Amino acid sequence: EEYYQRIDKVDKDIGAYAHLTRELAEEQAQAADARIARGEDAPLLGVPIAVKDLICVKDTRTTCSSRILDNFVAPYDATVVARLKDAGAVLIGKTNMDEFAMGSSNETAYHHVTRNPWDKTRVPGGSSGGSAAAVSANECVAALGSDTGGSIRQPASFCGITGLKPTYGRVSRFGLVAFASSFDQIGPMTKTVEDAATLLNVIGGHDAMDSTCANVERPDFTETLARDVKGLKVGVPQEYFSDGIDPQVQAAVEAGIRHLESLGMERVEVSLPHTQYAVAAYYILACAEASTNLSRYDGVKYGYRSENAENLLNMYTQTREEGFGEEVKRRILLGTFVLSSGYYDAYYLKGQKVRTLVKQDFDAALRKCDVLAAPVSPALPFKLGEKLDDPLQMYLSDLLTLSANLAGIPALSVPCGLSQEGLPIGLQLMGRHFDEALLLNVGHRFQ
Ligand code: GLN
């Protein structure tokens, strides 16, 4: 009730939620009360949690902030949602996002934009901007987001919260609407690193319903948070501190690294030489995967169907013309182009090769250090509308986050300072595959 009152009060101006799930939440809250009365214990009993609107929650709309899924009601729970429910969570609403998670500002959402709670003339980041804003504005205790090229970490950084993109394969994608399946990962967006560890304990781990979900041990991530970091090596990748980085971001992250040094961590300079090709490789591969994943929205199986169609073919084309927004169409076209027979070798295949080189860069760097530290976003939260008409500018703002998705490694964003105008700045920690425990351990040193 308290959280719904808070939402009533502040969400008009922020727009963090796509829609609320009040009736189901009341049932879950009562169920949690009953479990408490029976003396049961569970990690999230009664904790109000928000879920990005591309993760299926049974019997609620899952719109991906797109017109084409506006009327879609999920017939089943995503694995992460089933696990949250088992853990006693109360799912209070679905958060707004860039349409199909394509974007970095939450401005491509079909229903409404989301504003940054720290400065409502600015974007909250994206594509999980609704989840970040909801946590930041106290409209939930914690939220789930998804990260394909930075969509958990960049909004977390812009809204002054913690966001973790787990290793590819750590968290089940069953019930997550696919954008780029070889990149997508669900992760926690929370106020603290400790909360992120608690949430990852609940949602992480093997799932037979997702063949890419790894069958590896899931440690208790809360147990190692307080471990001493003395003697660990923090790698500083020179390519992540180039001229294009806002000086205030650079200064805050440098101060963060000095803080780790003051705790006895050793700084080592490392290089990730293929970073300059990462944006191009990511946008080729992610668009290619998106173009095939989004072919299922044809007006037949589910979602929106055009009423203006005259025949079957025309029904497909009209439905997609009317149902998808501009950014989604741009990516479907780009993806179809790079996969077409005459261009496959020049773009898609080359993109895959660059992906391997980027991964090898990380493997080499992480042999010289235990964890990498870098900025999350090259810039401070920007003004609404500032980059909307310039897709290339928007794509370039993902420069520092998308390499972790190309390589499949875990990456954490933690708040490390404020700009002169009082805007939050995040520091990014990246680590070896399945070494989230170490990222959380080091990230906890900032709290
Ligand atoms: N901003 C990136 C994109 O538009 C990343 C999105 C994401 O991680 N879902 O593709």
- pLDDT tens, position by position, 160-212: 999 999 999 999 999 999 999 999 999 999 999 999 999 999 999 999 999 99
Give pLDDT, residue 360. Answer: 98
Give the mean model confidence (pLDDT) for residues 95-120.
Answer: 97
Is ligand 1 within 6 A of the CB of residue 148? Answer: yes
Using the predicted structure, report yes or no on whether residue 411 has a pLDDT greater than 90. yes
The set of catalytic residues is 52, 127, 151
Give pLDDT, residue 85. Answer: 97
Q: Which atom of ligand 1 is nearest to the CA of 101?
A: 9
Q: How many A from CA of 326 to the centre of ligand 1? A: 15
Burial of 421 (0-12, 13-18, 19+ CB in 10 A): exposed
Using the predicted structure, report yes or no on whether residue 231 has a pLDDT greater than 90. yes
Q: Is 447 helix (H, G, I), strand (E, B) or coil?
A: coil
Q: How many A from CA of 124 to the centre of ligand 1? A: 14
Pocket test for ligand 1, best of 53, 327, 398, 400 (most atoms within 8 A of CB): 398
Q: Which atom of ligand 1 is nearest to the CA of 286?
A: 10
Using the predicted structure, report yes or no on whether residue 127 has a pLDDT greater than 90. yes
Tokens of 443: 């990230």
> Are residues 414 and 153 in contact, defined by beta-carbon separation less than 8 angstroms?
no
Give the mean model confidence (pLDDT) for residues 401-421.
Answer: 98
Q: Does residue 341 lie within any of the structural domains?
A: no
Q: Ligand 1 atom 5: the closest Cα is on which residue?
A: 149
Q: Does residue 214 lie within any of the structural domains?
A: no
Q: Does residue 301 lie within any of the structural domains?
A: no
Give pLDDT, residue 332. Answer: 98
CATH code, 53: 3.90.1300.10
Give pLDDT, residue 388. Answer: 87
> What letters, b where the CB count within 10 A reaches 16 and e where it falls short, cover 193-225?
bbbbbbbbbbbbbebeebeebbeeebeebbeeb
Least Cα distance to 407 among 349, 367, 352, 338 occurs for: 352
Q: Is 365 helix (H, G, I), strand (E, B) or coil?
A: helix
Q: Does residue 10 lie within any of the structural domains?
A: yes
Q: Does residue 352 lie within any of the structural domains?
A: no
DSSP string, 193-236: HHHHHHHHHHHBS--TT-TTS-------TTTTTT---TT-EEEE
DSSP 347: I
Least Cα distance to 76 among 88, 62, 63 occurs for: 62
Does the pTM surpass 0.95? The reply is yes
Using the predicted structure, report yes or no on whether residue 243 has a pLDDT greater than 90. no
Is ligand 1 within 6 A of the CB of residue 155? Answer: no
Is ligand 1 within 6 A of the CB of residue 147? Answer: yes
Is ligand 1 within 6 A of the CB of residue 180? Answer: no
Is ligand 1 within 6 A of the CB of residue 49? Answer: no
Note the pLDDT tens digit of each residue in 320-344: 999 999 999 999 999 999 999 999 9
Is ligand 1 within 6 A of the CB of residue 303? Answer: no
Using the predicted structure, report yes or no on whether residue 43 has a pLDDT greater than 90. yes
Q: How far apart are CA 49 and CA 188, in angstroms?
A: 10
- In the numeric block, the tokens 């101006």 are attached to 13
Q: How far apart are CA 331 and CA 423, in angstroms?
A: 31
Give pLDDT, residue 32. Answer: 97
Q: How many A from CA of 258 to the centre of ligand 1? A: 30
Q: How many domains does the chain have?
A: 1
Give pLDDT, residue 392. Answer: 86
Q: Which atom of ligand 1 is nearest to the CA of 402?
A: 5
Q: Does residue 252 lie within any of the structural domains?
A: no
Pocket test for ligand 1, best of 105, 148, 184, 294 (most atoms within 8 A of CB): 148
Is ligand 1 within 6 A of the CB of residue 398? Answer: yes
Q: Which atom of ligand 1 is nearest to the CA of 394?
A: 1
pLDDT band of residue 305 (cuts 50, 70, 90) is very high
Q: Does residue 65 lie within any of the structural domains?
A: yes
Give pLDDT, residue 242. Answer: 86
Which value does ipTM take for this structure?
Answer: 0.97
pLDDT exceeding 90 applies to what percent of the chain?
A: 96
Q: Ligand 1 atom 4: the closest Cα is on which residue?
A: 103
Give pLDDT, residue 396. Answer: 86
Q: Does residue 102 lie within any of the structural domains?
A: yes
Domain interval for residue 145: 2-203
Cβ neighbours, 10 Å, residue 58: 16
Is ligand 1 within 6 A of the CB of residue 151? Answer: yes
